[in-house]
């Protein structure tokens, strides 16, 4: 698929979920590099820059997209020929996609150790990393009672119950507003991440912070599943995460509300680190306070520099 097609699919949410968005962007850059017909390195770099900008503009909140694109293009300035640059982009894209898939598998195995047979577990939206944990625990023979929120307005919860059912788990679907009512009966909450900030705050689907509050109140462990490329080097120097707002007609169509009614449709929210018990990554279970360390060690100085270069 062309970069334009992939960016469009991400914007329209045909491709969704933070990791999938990042992998699709990496694949699109790989195709762009493979198909480049010109001979000038300058022209090639220019076309990659345009591709990068178009992909990054497709959705603003998930840092996985920025980290993925950055990983694929990390050797751009050192390449000396068109062929060298082409090879590096293709190799880096393949590596990123492979590592990101392996990370989800590792998170599944690590996270499942935190669940016991008989646990009642809630998940929100549709996170492949969170589902990986639940499915792995099920495959290990643990009997889980899994609850999935509907996740208005896009209702990603319907996909979650399909994914769980396909894996042999019989889930229960609830409306978002039933979370606090249910919380007293739960043993754990397991969610994914779009971005983890350097202070350990979690940015994830709208409603996540309310669930975390209810879990905190009821002393139910709140577990976040996040590959290390969900951690944001951009937040290290104070940049705030842009919370995407989508079209009002996703909430109510014209004619369903009186003319002039204002509709707000924020898609993500921020959960403070004090409501998070554990972050499960592919390098282990860490507390939110380890976020800074993960950014420095896993993503490194080059990423931090690049993320803050416009500063
Ligand atoms: C999806 C969402 C998911 C995270 C993590 O939102 O909030 O919880 O992206 O998903 P949307 P994953 O549907 O708006 O993209 O673990 O699959 O990366």
Select which of 31, 119, 176, 194 is catalytic: 194
Give the position, in ligand 1's atom list, of the atom nearest the Cα of 125.
Answer: 8
**From ligand 1's centre to the CA of 192, what distance in Å?**
6
Residue 197 is among the residues annotated as catalytic for this protein: no
What residue ranges line ligand 1, CB within 6 angstroms?
16-20, 62, 125, 127-129, 154, 156, 192-194, 204-205, 267
Tell me what pLDDT residue 107 has. 98
Q: Which two tokens stand for residue 149?
A: 């929120």
Q: What is the pLDDT of residue 302?
A: 85
Ligand 1 center to 268 CA (angstroms) = 10
Confidence check: pLDDT of 311 > 60: no
Question: Can 83 be counted among the known catalytic residues?
Answer: no
- Exposed / middle / buried, residue 38 (Cβ in 10 Å: 0-12, 13-18, 19+): exposed
Is it the case that residue 262 has pLDDT exceeding 90?
Answer: yes
Tokens of 242: 């842009």
Distance 17 CA to ligand 1 centre (A): 3
Place of tokens 């996985």: 64
Percent of all residues in the chain with a pLDDT value above 90, rounded to a whole number: 94
In tens, the pLDDT along 223-233 reads: 999 999 999 99
* Residues 186-213 pLDDT 10s: 999 999 999 999 999 999 999 999 999 9
- Which pLDDT score, from 0 to 100, does residue 85 have? 98
Measured by CA distance, the residue closest to atom 6 of ligand 1 is: 17
For the chain, domain boundaries: 3-105, 113-307
Choose between 14 and 309: higher pLDDT. 14
For 113-307, CATH number?
Answer: 3.40.50.10470
The fourth-level CATH superfamily of domain 3-105 is translation initiation factor eif-2b, domain 1 (1.20.120.420)
Q: Residues 31, 125, 176, 277: which is the catalytic one?
A: 125
pLDDT at 300 over 90: no
pLDDT confidence of residue 47: 97
Pocket test for ligand 1, best of 106, 127, 154, 189 (most atoms within 8 A of CB): 127
Structure confidence by residue, pLDDT tens digits, 16-57: 999 999 999 999 999 999 999 998 999 999 999 999 999 999
Location of structure tokens 């390195």: 41
Distance 60 CA to ligand 1 centre (A): 13
The residues pairing with 253 across neighbouring beta strands, listed in sequence order, are none
| Coarse DSSP helix, strand, coil percentages of the chain, rounded to the nearest 5 percent | 50, 15, 35
Mean pLDDT score of the chain: 97
| Cα separation of the two ends of the chain | 33
């Amino acid at each position: 698929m062309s970069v334009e097609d992939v960016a469009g699919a991400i914007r329209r949410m045909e491709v969704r979920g933070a990791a999938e968005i990042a992998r699709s962007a990496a694949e699109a850059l790989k195709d762009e590099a493979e198909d480049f017909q010109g001979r000038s390195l300058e022209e090639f770099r220019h076309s990659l820059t345009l591709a990068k900008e178009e992909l990054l503009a497709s959705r603003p909140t998930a840092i996985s997209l920025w980290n993925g694109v950055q990983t694929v293009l990390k050797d751009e300035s050192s390449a000396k020929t068109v062929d060298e640059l082409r090879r590096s982009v293709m190799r880096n894209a393949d590596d990123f996609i492979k590592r990101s898939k392996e990370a989800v598998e590792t998170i599944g195995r690590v996270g499942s150790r935190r669940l016991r047979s008989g646990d009642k577990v809630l998940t929100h939206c549709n996170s492949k990393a969170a589902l990986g944990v639940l499915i792995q625990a099920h495959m290990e023979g643990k009997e889980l009672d899994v609850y999935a929120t509907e996740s208005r307005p896009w209702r990603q919860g319907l996909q979650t119950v399909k994914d769980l059912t396909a894996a042999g788990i019989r889930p229960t679907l609830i409306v978002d507003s039933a979370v606090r009512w249910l919380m007293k009966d739960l043993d754990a909450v397991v969610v994914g991440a779009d971005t983890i900030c350097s202070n350990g705050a979690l940015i994830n689907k709208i409603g996540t912070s309310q669930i975390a509050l209810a879990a905190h109140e009821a002393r139910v462990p709140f577990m976040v599943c996040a590959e290390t490329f969900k951690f944001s080097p951009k937040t290290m120097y104070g940049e705030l995460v842009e919370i995407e707002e989508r079209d009002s007609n996703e909430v109510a169509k014209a004619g369903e509300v009186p003319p002039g009614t204002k509709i707000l449709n924020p898609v993500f929210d921020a959960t403070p680190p004090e409501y998070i018990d554990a972050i499960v990554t592919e390098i282990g279970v860490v507390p939110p306070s380890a976020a800074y360390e993960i950014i420095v060690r896993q993503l490194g100085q080059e990423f931090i520099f690049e993320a803050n270069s416009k500063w």
